[in-house]
Each structure stands twice: as C-alpha cells, then as structure tokens.
C-alpha cells in the first residue's frame, strides 16, 4: 500500500492561488506615448497570442506544482508485514582455541576432524536458530579476545567463528579471563537474560583470574554460565609398536567446569562426539528458549523521486519555452 510520511504538506496545494488573490495587483504604468494610428492592429494580435499561450502554460505550471506537492508529502510503498521474534536475551559464546583443540577425535561426515571444526559444524546451526537473541563471540587461549560484540547479525557471528583458527589466541587456556571478559561485556545488559556458553577441552593454565573466582563474579552479576567439556574419552593411536587406546581428554578439568556452572545457575555438559555436542545445543534451546513475542516490520520504499522528477522536467520545459520565446 502507499503511505504518505508528511500528508499535512498537501495543504500547500492551493498556495499559488492564495498568493495570486492576496497580493495587491501591480499598478498600471502611465506614461506619455506617441499615438500611432495602426497600433491597435498589433495590440489585437498580441492579445490573441497571449490567449492562446497562457492557458497551456498555466496548466503545465499547475501540474508541475501538483507533482511538487506530492513529492514533499513523501509517498512510500509499504510492503507486507515481516514477523520478527525478539527475546531480548544476550547470549555470549566463549570458544577455546588452545593447542589441544587440534586433536582429531571427532567425526563429521565420516571424516575425522579436530575439536574446533566439530564445534563450528554444530554451533553454526545453533546460532542460526537463535532468532531474536543478541549473540556475541569470545575466543580464548593464552588471552581472551572479544571477536564479535553482542549483535542481532547472526550471519556475521557465524562467519567470525568459522574464520577462527587454533592457536590464534595462544596455546594455553585462560578460562577465568574468558569468563571475566564476558562479565564485562554483559554487565550493562538486562540482568534476567545474561547467558554465557563456554566450550573448552582442558584446564585453566593461563590468565589473571582463577576460574572459580570468575564464577563468583559472574554469579554476583547474574550471569548464567553453561559449560561444555569437549573431547572423546577414548581414541586409537597408531604407532610403530602397534595400536593403543588413550584418553585424549585426560587434561579436561571437569570438576572445575561443574563448579562454574553450579555457582552461576547453569549446567555442565560433556560432548564426547558430534552427536552429543548437537544434543547439548538442542537442550540449550529448551533451557534458554527464544521468546514467542513477535514484532512486525514493514519494509518501506520511497517514491518521492518520481513526482519530483516529473515536476522538475515540466519546470525545465517551461523554462526552455520561455527562453525560446525571448
């Protein structure tokens, strides 16, 4: 449908007539003149020419004025309402990029991949489902970095996650600093909707803040933390002396992960393979559901330039006509 942003400006449509009626008429100029016997013939011809031209000029000027008034009312085309889910939840993801994440104990599409690749594979689908949430991304290793601030642009967050590489933030694991950075970025947001999802495969080996101390600060700031321990319990290693089973997650500090989650009102999850990781994200959708309240957005397209272009074209035509006459 067509919508006018400033319809009250249509009241200016009769303005030229009001100016014509209200302004005083130009006084007649009286001056001496030489009377020529045959001057009446020229006067009659001029009057006939004006009678032929003035109505056409006035009509074109009136049409140009109408188009100009139509343009200033700013007509717009309103599209169909688009439904948007808005929950107001602020959800931050903290992903471990330490050196141990390169262990290939996950399988995606029947191919062994490292832990970070598996996280990317599953997290993309999770992020795409969080319509209405503001998503942020923290990457941590020896240091913790804010890779993406809170945003409704889920595609950008997925792109930044997919572009991350192991070792980008250092080879160690600063879990406490990652939690501290999340607290800093979320402390000014509504207290009832602050959520951090922390994914790691090891123990805290770097950073300025101890994980449990960071958990206390998170609880004081009403930040709920869901911790996810990533890594298989068993892996076959081939060597010169044959195959042997090892536990690639021996360094995972599950005790600390559980305490962090419990201190903040969250939960700890164990992801030993891609299916378990996907099930965790599905469960998180239930624990932190997207609100059902909807908002509607109607796309707008301005149309004012069409009547404005017509008005300017007619005005230019009148100007050229006058120039030719002169």
pLDDT confidence of residue 39? 46
**What integer is the mean pLDDT of 226-232?**
90
Distance CA 139, CA 119 (A): 13
State percent of the chain over pLDDT 90. 29
pLDDT of res. 38: 47
Please state the rounded mean pLDDT for residues 44-55.
51
| Beta-bridge partner residues of 139 | 95, 145
pLDDT band per the 50, 70, 90 thresholds, residue 144: very high
- Give the helix/strand (H/E) hosting 241: none
Q: How is domain 84-295 classified at the architecture level of CATH?
A: 3-Layer(aba) Sandwich (3.40)
> What average pLDDT does this structure show over 241-259?
78
Mean pLDDT of 28-44: 50
What confidence score (pLDDT) does residue 132 get? 75
Please give the backbone phi and psi of residue 216, each rounded to the nearest 5 degrees, phi first: -65, -45
Q: Is the pLDDT of residue 210 over 90?
A: yes
pLDDT digits (tens, 9 = 90+) for 65-111: 888 888 889 888 887 776 555 555 788 999 999 988 988 888 888 88
Sequence-distant (≥ 6) Cβ neighbours of residue 127 within 8 angstroms? 93, 135, 154, 157, 158, 161
- Assign 29 to helix, strand or coil: coil
Lowest model confidence (mean pLDDT) among 239-243, 262-266, 289-293: 289-293
- What confidence category does residue 323 fall into, taking pLDDT thresholds of 50, 70 and 90? low
Does residue 147 register a pLDDT over 90? yes
Mean pLDDT of the chain: 81
* Beta-strand pair 134-140/300-302: unpaired
Residue 41 predicted with pLDDT over 70: no
Kind and range of the H or E element at 299? Answer: none
pLDDT digits (tens, 9 = 90+) for 271-300: 888 888 888 888 888 877 765 455 666 778
- pLDDT tops 90 at residue 183: yes
Task: Say what the pTM is.
Answer: 0.63
Task: Give domain limits for the chain.
Answer: 2-18+40-79+298-325, 84-295
> Between 254 and 88, where is the model more confident?
254
Whether residue 146 has pLDDT greater than 90:
yes
């Amino acid at each position: 449908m067509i919508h006018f942003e400033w319809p009250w400006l249509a009241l200016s449509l009769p303005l030229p007539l009001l100016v014509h009626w209200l302004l005083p008429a130009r006084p007649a100029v009286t001056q001496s003149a030489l009377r020529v016997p045959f001057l009446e013939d020229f006067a009659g011809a001029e009057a006939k020419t004006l009678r032929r031209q003035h109505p056409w000029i006035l009509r074109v000027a009136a049409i140009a004025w109408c188009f100009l008034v139509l343009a200033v009312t700013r007509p717009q085309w309103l599209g169909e309402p688009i439904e948007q889910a808005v929950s107001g939840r602020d959800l931050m993801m903290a992903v471990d990029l330490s050196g141990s994440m390169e262990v290939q104990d996950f399988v995606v599409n029947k191919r062994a991949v490292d832990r970070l690749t598996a996280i990317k594979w599953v997290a993309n689908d999770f992020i795409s489902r969080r319509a209405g949430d503001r998503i942020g991304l923290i990457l941590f290793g020896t240091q913790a970095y804010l890779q993406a601030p809170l945003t409704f642009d889920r595609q950008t967050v997925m792109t930044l996650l997919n572009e991350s590489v192991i070792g980008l933030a250092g080879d160690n694991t600063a879990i406490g600093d990652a939690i501290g950075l999340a607290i800093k970025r979320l402390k000014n947001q509504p207290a009832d909707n602050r959520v951090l999802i922390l994914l790691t495969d090891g123990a805290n080996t770097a950073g300025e803040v101890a994980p449990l101390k960071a958990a206390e600060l998170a609880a004081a700031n009403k930040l709920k933390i869901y911790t996810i321990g990533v890594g298989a319990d068993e892996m076959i290693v081939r060597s010169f002396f044959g195959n042997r089973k090892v536990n690639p997650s021996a360094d995972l500090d599950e005790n600390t992960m559980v305490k962090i989650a419990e201190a903040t009102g969250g939960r700890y999850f164990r992801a030993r393979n891609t299916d378990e990781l996907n099930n965790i994200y599905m469960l998180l959708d239930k624990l932190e559901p997207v609100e059902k309240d909807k908002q509607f957005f109607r796309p707008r397209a301005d149309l004012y330039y069409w009547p404005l272009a017509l008005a300017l074209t007619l005005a230019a035509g009148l100007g050229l006509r006058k120039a030719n006459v002169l």
